[in-house]
């Protein structure tokens, strides 16, 4: 399934650094029959949505995860040295990597542990008029999820306020992020437990 590229140039950010303690291992290495490699699938979603570059933030098992990435000059792996401190460090590392990149007016952010995320969710959040001041997030039945769109004007103040295992949520709420209804499109179904193995 193809999607309509965003009207304005957007970078992509894929957060894939965690150790996946409850899951049983790094989710960047996860794969299921339906989705294949979760890491490769999420990268393809961002590329197909027209995002470039796509910054992939790695941490736990970074060397193994890097080998799963497509060989594409638009894909930029970044290792968050302090990834174990929480998601804030991963997002900060991604924004730092994009700071010197000219062109993108914003970044579309998603997570590696959303193997059922639909391309349509990315298209909805990235669609229409997008500018440096844009701030949007997908919502699913009223519950916030991913993807999130961060206009370039927000990168620096967001990064400055990040800490611990808290992502962009407080900033999005404080700054009136536009809610984009993506109910049923899979961006609220993050996987915390390893899929059961055994007979169907």
Query: Tens of pLDDT along 178-194?
Result: 999 999 998 876 665 44
Average pLDDT, the chain: 90
Q: How far apart are CA 85 and CA 18, in angstroms?
A: 10
- 197 domain-assigned: no
- 4 domain-assigned: no
Residue with tokens 């970074």: 62
Residue 24, pLDDT score:
80
- 5 domain-assigned: no
pLDDT tens digit string along 56-89? 999 999 999 999 999 999 999 999 988 888 889 9
Secondary structure of residue 119 in the 3-state scheme: helix
Residue 1, pLDDT score:
44
- 16 domain-assigned: yes
Residue 86, pLDDT score:
86
- 59 domain-assigned: yes
- What is the CATH number for 119? 3.90.550.10
Contacts of 186 (CB under 8 A, 6+ apart): 114, 116, 117, 118, 121
CB-count exposure of residue 55 (10 Å: 0-12, 13-18, 19+) = buried
Strands 36-37 and 143-151: unpaired
* pLDDT surpassing 60 at residue 113: yes
pLDDT tens digit string along 147-171? 999 999 999 999 999 987 888 999 9
pLDDT tens digit string along 14-24? 999 987 777 88
Residue 19, pLDDT score:
79
What domain count does the chain have? Answer: 1
Q: How far apart are CA 144 and CA 131, in angstroms?
A: 21
Residue 191, pLDDT score:
64
- 189 domain-assigned: no
The model's pTM is 0.90
Residue 195, pLDDT score:
45
Residue-range definition of the domain harbouring residue 150: 10-181
- 195 domain-assigned: no
- 75 domain-assigned: yes
């Amino acid at each position: 399934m193809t999607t309509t590229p965003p009207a304005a140039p957007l970078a992509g950010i894929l957060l894939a650094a965690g150790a996946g303690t409850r899951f049983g291992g790094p989710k960047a290495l996860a794969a299921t029959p339906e989705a294949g490699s979760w890491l490769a699938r999420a990268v393809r979603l961002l590329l197909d949505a027209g995002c470039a570059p796509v910054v992939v933030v790695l941490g736990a098992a970074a060397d193994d995860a890097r080998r799963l990435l497509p060989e594409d000059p638009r894909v930029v792996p970044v290792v968050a040295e302090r990834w174990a401190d929480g998601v804030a460090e991963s997002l900060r590392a991604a924004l730092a990597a994009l700071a010197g990149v000219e062109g993108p007016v914003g970044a579309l952010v998603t997570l590696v542990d959303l193997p059922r995320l639909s391309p349509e969710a990315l298209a909805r959040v990235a669609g229409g008029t997008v500018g440096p001041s844009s701030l949007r997030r997908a919502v699913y039945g009223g519950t916030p999820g991913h993807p999130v769109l961060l206009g370039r004007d927000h990168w620096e103040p967001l990064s400055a306020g990040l800490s611990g295992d808290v992502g962009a949520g407080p900033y999005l709420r404080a700054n009136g992020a536009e809610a984009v209804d993506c109910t049923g499109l899979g961006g609220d179904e993050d996987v915390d437990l390893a899929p059961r193995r055994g007979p169907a």
